[in-house]
Amino acid sequence: MVTKDGSGPATAHEAYAFACLSCGRGWEQEYAIQHQTDPEHPDGPPLVRYLAGGRPVPSPLTHPRCPACEGTRVRVIRSGLVAAAERATGGVARR
């Protein structure tokens, strides 16, 4: 059992909600966001890696893509507002 407190990259967990402007789909995804110092540019901006389900993914804030229609006209919403977005677009029936 190994803990790496203080020695590994700082990892934040954030959830984003997305709304596709093409087909009206709304979904949420949680990301582990790692901030690391660039060893070649220690004074530069930190490197930021996004992991979804343990796999590295492109930044959802710059390259969002709809999993339903593969459209790239996707609006990123802070998590917790997706229900309101679905209500606004009327694309998802309430259960």
Residues in contact with Zn ion by CB under 5 A are 20, 22-23, 25, 66, 68-69, 71
Q: Tell me how crowded residue 29 is: count the other CB atoms within 10 A of its CB.
A: 17
Within a 10 A sphere around the Cβ of 66, how many other Cβ atoms?
20
| Residue 26 Cβ vs Zn ion, minimum distance, rounded to whole Å | 10
- Residue 3's DSSP bridge partners are none
Residue 47 · residue 37 · CB < 8 Å: yes
- Between 9 and 71, name the residue whose CB sits nearer to Zn ion: 71
CB of 68 to Zn ion, least distance (A): 5
Let me know: does 47 contact 38? Beta carbons within 8 Å: yes
CB of 79 to Zn ion, least distance (A): 19
Closest to Zn ion by CB, 37 vs 89, is 89
Other Cβ atoms within 10 Å of 25 Cβ, number: 20
Which residue lies nearer to Zn ion by CB, 47 or 69? Answer: 69
